[in-house]
Structure 1
Amino acid sequence: MNKWLLTIALLLVVLLAPDRSISQRRQSEREKSPLELAVSRHPTQTADSVQVDVFTQIPLDHLVFMAYSGGFKSTYELSIFAVDKDEMVRSTRIWREEVVKSRFEETQSEDLYHIAHTYFLLSPGEYSIVANLMDQDSRQRHQASEKIDVTGYPLSQLAIGDILLLTEAERVPGKPDRITPFVGNWVSDQADSFYVYFAICTPMEEPSQASLHYTLGKKDDAAAVAFHKTLNLDSALSTHSIPMATSHLKELEYTLTVRVQVDSLVAEQSTPIRVTWTGFYHLIEDVDQAIEQARYVATRAQIKEMREASGEARREAFLSFWR
């Protein structure tokens, strides 16, 4: 019995260590401030103006919720500034956000967030985006900032804006797209898929078609998964949301590269993807170490089979044994 308990303890250490490390990495990123920013740049219909979208994210356990007849409500004020390299404020957005939750447990969760969105139209240059959040009940303040280099998009060239990874995307005729990003490019397996979102600016005056090629590679640019798609460009400036299954994400970090071609014009954009897994399958980061720990309970034949497998087959062999 003691041997079994020791084996289980060793396996749990091997399997759960990556999950804790991911949690610790995310926690350490929030130690400076629980307020996080996602900033992206997109072309507009003028060469000297760039749309800079700003998303703020705050964990619900950093807001003060007050009980009311329908549940619990929190109100906070956001002040966001675009500051140039000479420390001059070029644009400002100030507004209030209201968060409503039906259950008290939700208001205490560090894993649930509220995301707010605004945007600036900025001329090319170097900027700092500075965000200030103040809770209306506790008066507690949080701040976050991010430096960005805003580069113009010449109307004579094909261009792709920054890539955003989204949990939700909704196109509303005559209005800006309603989008909700993964702040920090962390993608979770809690949903079956996510969206790859970007804007395309083309010099073509007439509707045209674009050849879209995107690759999902590991951080070390080893093996990559490639996808192809044809896009209809109905105007010189268009936005696109491409669904991607989370089942394609088998590792902890990737680089997503989007390449668009219209006739002889080519544009390319890349972004990192960091993955957080909640399922047992993806708690295993070091399969070799997990197999070594399994020798306490597996037969020699089972260990030999697992060791001789390679790549993803090795992970599957270990999971087949564990089941």
Structure 2
Amino acid sequence: MKSNRWFFLINLMVVFGAISVLGQPNNKDAEIGLPKFTFIGITSPLPDRENIQVDLQISLSYNEVQFLRTDGAYQGEYEVGITFKDKDDTKIAGRIVKRVLKTENYDKTRDENVIDIITEPFNLPAKDLKVIIRVTDLDTRKTSYQDDSRDYSDYYSKSSVLGDVGIIKTESSTADSAGTHTVFWGNQLPEPLDTLHFQAYLLGEIGPYEVQYRLLKDETPVYYFSTKIESALPVDSLLQLKMATTNMSFGNYALELSVRDGSGTTVASRAKFRVHWQGVSGNVQNMTTAIQQLRYIASDKQLNKMLKAKSDKQRKLFMDFWHAKDPTPATTENELMDEYYRRVRFADEHFSGVREGWQTDMGAIYILFGPPDEIERRPFEIDSKPYEVWYYFEINQQFVFIDFTGFGEYRLSEPFNFQRNWEYHP
């Protein structure tokens, strides 16, 4: 860990929105039943300008671990293997960490919101690196892997270096109570925060240093602030910042931090994240749009009531709608909601054109019934317009789509009543 470093603390409490501004990893865990986990890596510069510090944070939900009842409690064990390699596939660092989880509450063992977090620091050469992370359940022996790569060869090419921006979740005590470590949010926040705390390491040779940061929502700047480190001396500093975010809402954000040193060199770092309300499908990007996308399974009365409601009430109505359809209401996951919006995303990715994919006839049928069992395509008929036939054998349905205009937007050949009691068709 870093020691004897100058910590430059900037506490900036500014009301979010008060200033008007003008103008991670490959997941090989595809098999059902393997322990799913997430990880982030926060990179920081070191004074020797030859090495870097990478703080790996690995998160695993309790419900991904097999628990056994032992001596009146429930115990689960898993192991994490971390390997760093260079571009020649030579191992340059590694570590194995074993975790033992204990609880007397059975419900906790099945709760995806109870998270175990491992934080491991590594000092590594600044070169082309690849990290491979293995997680093994020590009872079932099931194993999953993730990896990521990043080239640090030019990391110290400028007079100043700015490490990765980390959005701080908590300061947590270590297992042996010997100190604390910082726990960072990944790219998902479960709800809007009243205050956004973040930090990054700055290594600079020539001052003074102008520090600027801004918050963007859907790539539109919504907040901007700047300050200055007056020292003309070299710095090896932890910049810690915070902003009040009382107006933060559901959506996609980016936090950008930049520093301009005394030589005119500018370095920058960016962290992207999404405010994702707990209990809402991860495929939902915008609450208003998500409500509009319910038009195939909700009545006009339900839609109008949700769309006209204010933010908190709107979310409650949305959640109540899906709770009534939840096939497993005793769990935190709503499989029906997840599947519905997964299909919406697929429709947008594959059927968009003049209209968004979910608004097209093909998108609507896909959302309601899922992928067809068979597709008959007739794109080059001499005596008729191009058409497709989708067959759903299990429900004895077929749908004919015709490209009436010749521009690739296929419409249903016959009207279909979308207002129906939708059920999940896997």
Same fold (TM over 0.5): yes
1:123–1:152: 8 Å Cα contact kept in structure 2?
no
Give per-residue Cα distances to partners, 1:232-263, cap 9 Å, x unaligned.
88983222332344534324211211122344
Cα distance in 2 between the residues matched to 1:148 and 1:77: 25
Structure 1: runs of 5 or more not aligned: 1-27, 307-313
Give per-residue Cα distances to partners, 1:54-104, cap 9 Å, x unaligned.
221222111122334574332222211001121111111112122233422
2:40–2:57: 8 Å Cα contact kept in structure 1?
yes
Higher RCO (C-alpha 8 Å, min separation 6): 1
SS at match of 2:88: coil
Distance 1:40 1:287, change over 3 A: closer
Partner of 1:254: 253
1:155–1:202: 8 Å Cα contact kept in structure 2?
no
Q: Aligned pair 1:284/2:287, yes or no? A: yes
Structure 2: runs of 5 or more not aligned: 1-26, 318-426
What TM-score comes out, normalization by structure 1 length? 0.69
| Aligned residues between the structures | 276
Which has the larger share of strand? 1
Partner of 1:126: 128
Question: Quick check: 153-162 or 129-138, which moved more?
Answer: 153-162
Partner letter of residue 216 of structure 1?
L
Distance 1:103 1:244, change over 3 A: farther
Q: Aligned pair 1:225/2:223, yes or no? A: yes
Partner letter of residue 178 of structure 1?
H
Q: Percent identity?
A: 16
Cα distance in 2 between the residues matched to 1:297 and 1:55: 42
Partner letter of residue 114 of structure 1?
D
1:124–1:151: 8 Å Cα contact kept in structure 2?
yes
Partner letter of residue 47 of structure 2?
Q
Distance 1:107 1:210, change over 3 A: farther
Cα distance in 1 between the residues matched to 2:157 and 2:87: 26
Cα distance in 1 between the residues matched to 2:179 and 2:208: 22
Give per-residue Cα distances to partners, 1:89-129, cap 9 Å, x unaligned.
11111121222334221111223221112122222222221
SS at match of 2:140: coil
Cα distance in 2 between the residues matched to 1:182 and 1:211: 26
Partner of 1:36: 38
Which has the larger share of helix? 1
Cα distance in 1 between the residues matched to 2:197 and 2:190: 12
Cα distance in 1 between the residues matched to 2:243 and 2:75: 34
Cα distance in 1 between the residues matched to 2:151 and 2:173: 28
Cα distance in 2 between the residues matched to 1:144 and 1:168: 25
Partner of 2:393: none
- After superposition, the CA RMSD in angstroms is 4.1
Aligned pairs (5 A) from 1:1-323? 31=30, 34-68=36-70, 71-151=73-153, 153-154=155-156, 157-169=159-171, 178-183=181-186, 185-189=187-191, 192-203=194-205, 210-219=209-218, 221-229=219-227, 236-245=235-244, 247-263=246-262, 264-278=264-278, 284-286=287-289, 289=292, 296=301
Give per-residue Cα distances to partners, 1:240-288, cap 9 Å, x unaligned.
33234453432421121112234445321112111202499x9723299
What TM-score comes out, normalization by structure 2 length? 0.54
SS at match of 1:133: strand
